[in-house]
Amino acid sequence: MLLIKGVNGKVRLSKGDLIAIARGVKSSQIVAIGETLLKAGFKYIEVSLSDEQEGIACIRELSRRLGGDSALRLGAGTVTRKDLVDRALEAGAEYIITPGWDRELIKYIIRKKVPVFPGVLTPSEVMQALNEGLTQVKLFPVGNLKPGYIKNLKGPFPTVEFIGVGGVDTETIGTYYHAGCFAFAIGADLIPRQADLSVLPQIEKKAKEYLAVMKSLCKQ
């Protein structure tokens, strides 16, 4: 898979990048969903491990069927323990996203030289991430924050790039982009929970809408 790696396995997301979050999807359906997202233009797919067994199975299927030289960049999300890190990497995940800040877990992932985007919410958590050498972090749940909070958070941390996650849709993504988020991860509004083959047209349509919105925002 095509990841741009730096020191300690970090991957640098670019301005306007979008990550599709698959949560509650069966492994028997995930490859078709992945193919649909790739066709629409999405490169990043994060499989949530909120359902650990099915999530690992989804990662394994995506890696097996759409890995290798494809454009897919496959990650594991909702990673809360060291054993989940190991299982996700063994299944084929190439980067890790955590829901919140856990210094020992983050240090464990960094030692493995694996790209990691930790979840943060407060100035203290952003400081800890910076102290570990991480400048691209997941701001969660961004949909519950006022734009002013994000702008104020950017003030003392100008080098930090926030990935907005949680409660964002095509109508509100511009607000959070202008407030200071440079990339986003989109969940149920893009891939409904329990998604199956019947919603593939809906996923493709929504994916193209998100991509068009971000393309327009990045030109502003």
Catalytic machinery residues? 46, 138
Q: Using an 8 Å Cβ cutoff, are 184 and 176 in contact?
A: yes
190 C-beta neighbours (distance < 10 Å), count: 26
> In angstroms, rounded to a whole number, what is the distance separating the alpha carbons of residues 168 and 176?
8
| CA–CA separation, 205 and 188 (whole Å) | 14
Q: Beta strands of 40-180 (E only): which ranges? A: 44-48, 73-77, 95-97, 116-117, 119-120, 136-139, 161-165
Q: Residue 171 contacts by C-beta under 8 Å, 6 or more apart in sequence?
A: none
DSSP-assigned letter for residue 136? E
What single letter denotes the amino acid at residue 103? Answer: R
Sequence-separated contacts (24+) of 102-109 with Cβ below 8 Å = 103/128, 103/132, 105/79, 105/80, 105/81, 106/132, 106/134, 107/132, 108/82, 109/85
Please check whether residue 46 is in contact with residue 115, taking contact to mean a CB–CB distance below 8 angstroms.
no
The alpha carbon dihedral of 157, 161, 166, 167 has a sign of positive
